[in-house]
């Protein structure tokens, strides 16, 4: 009889929106079994066409996968890349390797949940078990309910309930990962997927601004908690200040766990009472992320349908011409245009400016919020279905816990309050840089000689306003009154 130890069948770890090795419960559980762990990522072309990764997300995904592959190689492993339907790819990989277990983190988009259920059933028929773990959120959305046993629709009681719950302890990192057998060589190279723009390469400067991957996420968190957090509560509203964490794309792609961010922020507040209020405010912003996913989980039509039923009949009469001007940062309102230029040039927009720019599209131009949502989906590196949908519906007035419809941001007053010296506007609209401060936020009010000396020609070097604020506000309120009357 042979005394050779039995060969253990491998476990396949299927990476999704959890592109990290630390604090990843599913991966830690796989490694803890003592079996070889084989890592794969599948570029899924089966999700709804409208919600496949946009251009900015594809750029980030390329660099994040490159970083993850390098981290896995340092641990003796190999990240397999495959493109296609996950059910087909995973079934074939399990057959090729003899794996009878596939571990992954849950996702919460409607099609992702459906895919998991279908995969569980089809793999079970093949004798393979799919095990799903938390990894993207602090708490599972279906575990948080109000006193009536129903999902929350208002943030404050939702967050009050969440703060009564514990946050998971850190799970140990994967120490070693396995290499795929020669019978299952990677079918793709990362470059095969053409995730990066090339003609034109509109992201050619992004690598100077962003560092996708787990190391970049940890560095971003550390720098924030050592510095900018001290000004977070007030400073986060001023786009020219560096008072935000910049963690949103890292969280979306799962390069850092929200639990790790939560614990680190909480510890920073405990260690330094002078920033405790700031860290609490930051934690509540993590709470909004949880709330958005909670809503999407319980109301999966959120990206396509108004959460408040009366908004289904809202007369969105905005034109394609106005939509295009907004996309290009040519509305004639400098604060809005600066935000749209920042978005195009960096894949990001400061959150205060996001609210103002989104409100302008919906309430000044009467363009359907879904058109803005899709533009953000394509151009934001942190495009996230739950956050994006909830944010747009909140601004439009049709969402859960939304701002009242009659709250219409005045883009000029917002600029004067949050960019008084014009640092943000001058950064992204250099054609207005020479205008005096008193005219910078509303250049159409500047005398002709002031415009001329600043090199500004309205309608040429910078557009005249698409609409008048007072008239646009009145039109929006009239449209809303019409819907209410029905």
Please tell me the number of Cα atoms within 13 Å of 433 on its side-chain side.
6
Q: Does residue 390 register a pLDDT over 60?
A: yes
Q: First CA to last CA across the chain, in angstroms?
A: 84
* Residue whose C-alpha is closest to residue 129's, from 78, 91, 159: 91
Q: What is the pLDDT of residues 129-148, one digit of tens each?
A: 999 999 999 999 999 999 99
Average of per-residue pLDDT across 11-32: 96
- Res 6 pLDDT > 80: no
Task: Report how far residue 72's alpha carbon sits from residue 11's, in angstroms, rounded to the nearest whole number.
Answer: 15
pLDDT band at 174 (very low <50, low <70, confident <90, very high): confident
pLDDT at 186: 60
Q: Per-residue pLDDT tens for 392-434?
A: 999 999 998 866 777 899 999 999 999 999 999 999 999 999 9
Q: Tell me the range of 183-197, 367-381, 394-408 where mean pLDDT is highest.
A: 367-381
Q: What is the mean pLDDT of residues 220-239?
A: 96
Is pLDDT above 50 for 157? yes
Question: Which segment of 91-100, 177-186, 344-353, 370-379 scores lowest on mean pLDDT?
Answer: 177-186
Q: Quick check: 247 pLDDT over 60?
A: yes
Residue 2 has pLDDT above 60, yes or no: no
| Token pair 């253990």: residue | 8
The pLDDT tens digits of the residues spanning 428-477 come to 999 999 999 999 999 999 999 999 999 999 999 999 999 999 999 999 99
Average pLDDT over residues 170-179: 84
Burial class for 425, CB neighbours closer than 10 Å (0-12, 13-18, 19+): buried
What does the alpha-carbon distance between residue 351 and residue 342 come to, in Å, rounded to a whole number? 12
325-350 pLDDT tens trace: 999 999 999 999 999 999 999 999 99
Residue 324's pLDDT band, with cuts at 50, 70 and 90, is: very high
Q: What are phi and psi of 40, to 5 degrees?
A: -140, 155
Q: Of 478, 65, 22, whose CA–CA distance to 259 is shortest?
A: 22
The fold of 1-135 is Rossmann fold (3.40.50)
Average pLDDT over residues 111-121: 95
- The domain segmentation of the chain, as residue ranges, is 1-135, 137-168+214-298, 309-485
Mean pLDDT (whole number) for 6-16: 87
Decide if pLDDT at 7 tops 80. no
Average pLDDT in the chain: 94
- Does residue 73 have a pLDDT over 70? yes
SS3 annotation, 317-331: CCCHHHHHHHHCCCC
For 137-168+214-298, which CATH class? Answer: mainly alpha
Q: How does pLDDT run across 253-280, given as a tens digit for each residue?
A: 999 999 999 999 999 999 999 999 999 9
Tokens matching residue 439: 């005219």
Q: How many percent of the chain have pLDDT more than 90?
A: 87
Q: Which DSSP helix (H) or strand (E) runs through 460?
A: none
pLDDT at 486: 73
Could you tell me which residues are beta bridge partners of residue 42?
82
Q: Are 336 and 356 in contact (CB under 8 A)?
A: yes
Provide the CATH number for the domain formed by 309-485 in this structure. 1.10.579.10
What pLDDT does residue 300 have? 96
DSSP string, 64-109: HHHHHHHHHHHTT--EEEEES-HHHHHHHHHHHHT--EEEEE---S
Which of the residues are catalytic? 285, 288, 316, 351, 369, 392
Domain 1-135 and domain 309-485, same fold? Reply is: no
Q: Please give the Cα distance from 18 to 55 (Å, whole number).
A: 20
pLDDT of 45 strictly over 90: no
Q: Name the more confident of 290 and 50.
A: 290
Q: What is the mean pLDDT of residues 162-175?
A: 88
User: 216: part of which helix (H) or strand (E)?
Assistant: helix 214-226
**In this predicted model, which residue has the larger pLDDT, 301 or 45?**
301
Q: Mean per-residue pLDDT for 302-316?
A: 92
Does the pLDDT of residue 46 top 80, yes or no? no
Rounded Cα distance between 469 and 74, Å, is 57
pLDDT class of 170 with cuts at 50, 70, 90:
confident
């Amino acid at each position: 009889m042979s005394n050779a130890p039995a060969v253990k069948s491998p476990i396949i770890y299927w990476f999704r929106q959890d592109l990290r090795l630390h604090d990843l419960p599913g991966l830690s559980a796989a490694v803890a079994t003592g079996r070889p762990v084989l890592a794969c990522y599948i570029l899924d072309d089966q999700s709804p066409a409208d919600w496949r990764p946009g251009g900015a997300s594809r750029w980030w995904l390329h660099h994040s996968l490159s970083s993850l592959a390098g981290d896995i190689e340092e641990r003796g492993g190999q990240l397999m890349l495959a493109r296609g339907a996950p059910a087909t790819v995973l079934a074939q990989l399990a057959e090729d390797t003899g794996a009878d277990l596939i571990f992954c983190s849950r996702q919460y988009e409607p099609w992702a949940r459906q895919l998991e259920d279908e995969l569980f059933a089809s793999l079970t028929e093949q004798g393979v078990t799919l095990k799903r773990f938390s990894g993207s959120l602090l708490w599972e959305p279906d575990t948080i309910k109000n006193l009536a046993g129903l999902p929350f629709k208002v943030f404050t009681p939702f967050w009050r309930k969440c703060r009564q719950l514990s946050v998971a302890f850190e799970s140990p990192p994967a120490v070693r990962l396995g290499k795929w057998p020669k019978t299952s060589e990677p079918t793709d190279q990362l470059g095969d997927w053409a995730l990066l723009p090339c003609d034109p390469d509109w992201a050619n400067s992004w690598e100077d601004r962003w560092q996708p991957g787990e190391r970049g996420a940890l560095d971003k968190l550390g720098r924030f908690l050592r510095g900018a957090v001290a000004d977070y509560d007030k400073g986060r509203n001023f786009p020219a200040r560096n008072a935000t964490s910049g963690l949103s794309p890292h969280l979306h792609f799962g390069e850092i766990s929200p639990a790790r961010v939560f614990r680190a922020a909480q510890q920073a507040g405990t260690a330094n009472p002078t920033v405790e209020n700031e860290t609490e405010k930051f934690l509540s912003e993590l709470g909004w992320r949880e709330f958005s996913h909670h809503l999407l989980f319980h109301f999966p039509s959120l990206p396509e349908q108004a959460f408040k039923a009366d908004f289904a009949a809202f007369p969105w009469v905005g034109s394609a011409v106005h939509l295009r001007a907004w996309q290009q940062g040519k509305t004639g309102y400098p604060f809005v245009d600066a935000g749209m230029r920042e978005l195009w040039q960096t894949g990001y927009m400061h959150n205060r400016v996001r609210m103002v720019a989104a409100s302008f599209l919906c309430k000044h131009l009467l363009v359907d919020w879904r058109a803005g949502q899709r533009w953000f989906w394509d151009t934001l590196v942190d495009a996230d279905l739950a956050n994006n949908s909830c944010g747009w519906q909140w601004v439009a007035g049709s969402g859960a816990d939304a701002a009242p419809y009659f709250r219409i941001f005045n883009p000029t007053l917002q600029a004067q309050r949050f960019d008084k010296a014009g640092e943000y506007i001058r950064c992204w609209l250099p054609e207005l840089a020479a205008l005096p401060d008193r005219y910078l936020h509303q250049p159409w009010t500047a005398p002709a000689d002031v415009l001329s000396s600043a090199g500004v020609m309205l309608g040429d070097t910078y557009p005249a306003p698409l609409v008048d604020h007072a008239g646009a506000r009145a039109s929006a309120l009239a449209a809303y009154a019409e819907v209410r009357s029905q």
